[in-house]
Amino acid sequence: MRKLKNSELNRLSVNGYKQAKKMPVTVVLDNIRSLYNIGSVFRSSDAFLIEKICLCGITAKPPHRDIHKTALGATETVSWEYYEHTLQAVEELKAGNYTIVAIEQTDASIPLTRFKPQPGQKYALIFGHEIRGVDQDIIDRCDLCIDIPQFGTKHSLNISVSAGIVLWHLHNELSG
Q: What is the pLDDT of residue 111?
A: 98
Going by pLDDT thresholds of 50, 70 and 90, the confidence category of residue 35 is: very high
Dihedral sign for Cα atoms in the order 48, 53, 58, 64: positive
Domains of the chain: 20-175 (3.40.1280.10)
Per-residue pLDDT, 155:
87
Q: pLDDT tens digit string along 72-130? A: 999 999 999 999 999 999 999 999 999 999 999 999 999 999 999 999 999 999 999 99
- List strand residue ranges (DSSP E) for 31-162, in order: 50-56, 79-83, 98-103, 110-111, 122-128, 144-147
Predicted local distance difference test score (pLDDT) of residue 28: 98
Mean per-residue pLDDT, 45-58? 98
Q: What is the pLDDT of residue 131?
A: 94
Closest to 28 in 3D by CA, of 51, 49, 48? 51
pTM above 0.85, yes or no: yes
For the chain, what percent of residues have pLDDT higher than 70?
A: 99
pLDDT in the model for residue 161: 98
Q: Is the link from the previous residue into 63 a cis peptide, with omega within 30 of 0?
A: yes
User: For residue 67, what pLDDT is reported?
Assistant: 97
Higher pLDDT: 107 or 6? It is: 107
| Tens digits of residue pLDDT in 18-31 | 999 999 999 999 99
